[in-house]
Amino acid sequence: MTDHPYRISPYLREAPGEIAGHTPEGGLVIPESLFYPTGGGQPGDSGWIDWAGGRLAVATAIKGEGGTVILIPAEPAPLPAVGSQVRQILDWGRRHRHMRVHTGLHLLSVVIPLPVTGGQIGAEKGRLDFDMPHPPGDVTALEERVNELIARDLPVTEDWITDEELAANPGLVKTMSVAPPVGQGRVRLVRIGAGATQIDLQPCGGTHVSRTGEIGRVTIGKIEKKGRQNRRVTLILSD
């Protein structure tokens, strides 16, 4: 598994890199990416790359072959040559909001302890779809419970287990629609709280804030019925 900068240090805003190739569609292959590639309901990062003689806006990033990441230019433009040394620069404001929303959705899954059938993360809000035959009775109480967990300013950390350990502990997996990223020998777990204060532990490859207090206050939007048993719950950042 490649230790990309986005995975090692989600707060890193700039990092060096080398262009390893071009795709037929005009993307840039980068072996060690600062940009999170689209996956697990989280959008790919945007930003810029600088190199001697040029700058290119990056619209998003996707997963490439062999653990690489492909940067997608925002518009057609001259590309840095293969082998070029570049400076990767994140649109940090957008990435940080994704981190806040993503961690907030983990807390939502704590407050609503039902199987998750889908999810999506944005810069202003995110949503989880639950296997929820009946609507919750008190949405205001759910919202306050999430905000209580945020206000506790719990640490958000990571751990790693093997594919075999995950297979032996299927209860760690909350999502029914998105399988954990197995097949590379180990799986990343995101933990909220520690010791007696731990409230959540689940496989996740996305980027997160380091403490729940960083999320800020959230609101829960309208709960929508999606299918016979699914209900969509939206979590909205307050600022």
Please check whether residues 197 and 169 belong to one and the same domain: yes
Please check whether residues 214 and 105 belong to one and the same domain: yes
The pair of three-digit structure tokens given for residue 11, joined into one six-digit string: 């707060």
pLDDT at 56 over 90: yes
Q: What is the pLDDT of residue 185?
A: 67
Q: What is the pLDDT of residue 177?
A: 55
Burial class (CB in 10 A: 0-12, 13-18, 19+), 228: exposed
pLDDT at 164 over 80: no
Contact between 107 and 216 (Cβ < 8 Å): no
Amino acid present at 63: K
Please check whether residues 159 and 197 belong to one and the same domain: yes
Which domain range does residue 50 map to?
5-90
* Exposure of 60 in the CB half-sphere (CA atoms within 13 A): 9
- pLDDT tens per residue, range 211-237: 999 999 999 998 999 888 899 999 999
Residue with more model confidence, 174 or 109 = 109
Residue 175 burial (CB count, 10 A): 20
Number of domains in the chain: 2
- pLDDT tens per residue, range 187-205: 888 999 999 999 999 888 9
Mean pLDDT, the chain, whole residue set = 91
Q: What is the pLDDT of residue 178?
A: 58
